[in-house]
Amino acid sequence: MRLNLQRQIIKIGFFDDPPYTSKRGSISPIIGLEPDIIDTMAEYFNFSVQYIRCDNISEMFRMLHYKETDFNIGGIMMTYDRHLRMNFFFSHWMDYVTFGMRWPERNHNGFNLLLKPFSYQVWFLLITVFIVFIILNKFKIRILIPIRIVHHQNGLNSQQYRSSIDLNLLWINLSLLFRQPYYWLRYLDTSIKICVIFWTFSALILTIFYGGCISSILAIPIHNGITTVHQFAEQCHSQNIIPLILNNTSFVRVFNYSKLDVFQTIWRNSRLIEDMEQELRIIASQSMMNGDDRKFAMITARETLQYFRFLLGDGSIYIPPDGDDSFYPILVSIPVRLSFEYDHQPFNDLIIHLQAAGLLQRWMNQELSRVRDPKILIT
C-alpha cells in the first residue's frame, strides 16, 4: 500500500549548490535535480513542501538537528561522520571531486605541426624505406639483367628509355605517395610492378591516416591542459596554481586529514573561500582576458563545475576530460532528521525506481541545458 502523508507539510532546508539546487532571485522558483526529486515525492506520497533557505551546510545541519527541517537538499555528500549523526535516503547521484581552472593557452602552430601525425619512429622507417628503394633500383640497373623495354610509336630508343627510368623506382614511389600520376609504369618489368603495387597500398594507408590526423589537429585547438591530479599537485607544489576550497564543506576535512601525499601537497598550498560562484567568475574572466598571471583552481564536484562552465560560457572554465583522474567519488544524498515519523523504505524505493527509469539523468541534463540556453523551455 502506498504511503499517504495526507497533505502534511514537510519542511525542506536548502542552499544553492547548482545543478543540484539553485534559486536565482527572491521570487524565482527553486530548480535543480533535487527539487525535481522532492516534487516527485510530494506528488507520489501526497505531502506539501515548505522550503527554508539556509546560508551554509552548518546551519542546515543545525536546523535538522533541532527539528526545524525534515529533509535537507543542496548536493550534500554522505560521509561516515554524517551518517553517524543523521539518517540519509538512498544516494541518488554519484559525483566526483575534481578541479576547474582557467583555460590553458593555446599552442601556436609551427612547422613541427606537420610532423605530429606520425611518431619519430614512423618518420625514421619511412626514410629508411626510400633509402632501400634507391639501393634496390641501383642493384637492378647495374648488376642484374638490364631492363627490357618494348618499343612504342613515340620513336624513342631503348637507351633513351633506360636513362629516363634509371632512378624511376624512387621517383615512382614518391609520386604514388603524393598521389601523382606516373606514366612510365607500363614499361617496367614485373618485379618492379609488384613492388609498386605493395607500395601503393601502403602509401594509401599512410596518406589517409596522415590526412585525418592533420585535419583533426588543425580543427581542434591544442591546449597544454592538466589532466591528472598528480600533475595538478605538482603545479600546486611549484606554486604555479593556487587551489581554492570552499570553507565549511566536507572537502576541507578530507584534504586536511588525508594522509595521501597528493592531498597534503594541495592542502598546504590551498586557500579557503566563502563564495564559490564569485571565485569561479574570476577564473572565467582570467580565461577570457588571458592576461592575469595568477592561476587559481577550484576544487569541487564535477557537476558543479560543469554547470558553471555552461553558465559562464564556452572557454570559461577548464575541467579535466571526463573519465580521467579525479580526487575521489562522492555519494550525493538527502539527509533526514533522526525523529522523522515515517518509514524510509518507500522513499528509498522511489529513488531507486527513478534511477532505473533514467529520470534522474534526464533531469540533470535538463538543468544543464536550461543554464546553457535560458530561452529553452523544458517540460
pLDDT of residue 148: 47
Among 179, 197, 219, the domain-final residue is 219
What CATH number does residue 7 fall under?
A: 3.40.190.10
Kindly tell me if the per-residue pLDDT of 312 is higher than 50.
Answer: yes
Whether 14 and 72 share a structural domain: yes
Whether 134 and 215 share a structural domain: yes
pLDDT single digits (tens) 147-189: 444 444 444 445 444 444 444 677 777 787 887 776 666 666 6
Mean pLDDT of 18-37: 84
pLDDT single digits (tens) 348-361: 999 999 999 999 99
Mean pLDDT of 69-90: 91
Whether 101 and 246 share a structural domain: yes
User: For residue 176, what are the contacts with CB-CB under 8 A and spacing of at least 6?
Assistant: 182, 196, 199, 200, 203
Kindly tell me if the per-residue pLDDT of 145 is higher than 80.
Answer: no
Label residue 372 by pLDDT band (50, 70, 90).
confident
Whether 139 and 48 share a structural domain: no
Kindly tell me if the per-residue pLDDT of 338 is higher than 70.
Answer: yes
Chain-wide mean pLDDT for the chain? 82
Label residue 219 by pLDDT band (50, 70, 90).
confident
Label residue 96 by pLDDT band (50, 70, 90).
very high
Q: What percent of the chain shows pLDDT beyond 90? A: 41
pLDDT of residue 199: 82
Lowest-pLDDT range, 38-42, 92-96, 107-111? 107-111
Label residue 237 by pLDDT band (50, 70, 90).
very high
- Give whichever of 83-87, 127-131, 206-210, 261-265 has the largest mean pLDDT: 261-265
- Number of independent structural domains in the chain: 3
pLDDT of residue 150: 45
pLDDT of residue 164: 45
Question: Contact at 8 Å (CB) between 245 and 299?
Answer: yes
Kindly tell me if the per-residue pLDDT of 377 is higher than 80.
Answer: no
Among 331, 348, 363, the domain-final residue is 331
Task: Name the grid cell of 96.
Answer: 566526483
> Quick count: other Cβ atoms within 10 Å of Cβ 303?
21
pLDDT of residue 41: 96
Q: The pTM is what?
A: 0.69
Contacts 24+ apart (CB under 8 A), 126-130: 126/206, 130/170, 130/173, 130/174
Question: CA-CA distance, 126 to 203, in Å (whole number)?
Answer: 10
pLDDT of residue 287: 60
Whether 102 and 157 share a structural domain: no
State the residue range of the domain holding 140: 111-219
Whether 326 and 298 share a structural domain: yes
Whether 20 and 84 share a structural domain: yes
Label residue 283 by pLDDT band (50, 70, 90).
confident
Three-state DSSP at 16 gives coil
In 260-337, beta strands by DSSP E: 271-273, 296-301, 328-332, 335-336
pLDDT of residue 289: 59
Question: Contact at 8 Å (CB) between 307 and 367?
Answer: yes
Among 183, 202, 219, the domain-final residue is 219
Whether 142 and 66 share a structural domain: no
pLDDT of residue 63: 93
Whether 118 and 88 share a structural domain: no
Lowest-pLDDT range, 108-112, 249-253, 262-266? 108-112
Label residue 290 by pLDDT band (50, 70, 90).
low
Question: CA-CA distance, 16 to 154, in Å (whole number)?
Answer: 86
Three-state DSSP at 184 gives coil
Question: CA-CA distance, 28 to 44, in Å (whole number)?
Answer: 24
Whether 367 and 378 share a structural domain: yes
- Give whichever of 104-113, 245-254, 343-352 has the largest mean pLDDT: 343-352
Whether 176 and 314 share a structural domain: no
Whether 74 and 171 share a structural domain: no
Mean pLDDT of 117-136: 83
- For residue 261, the one-letter residue type is D
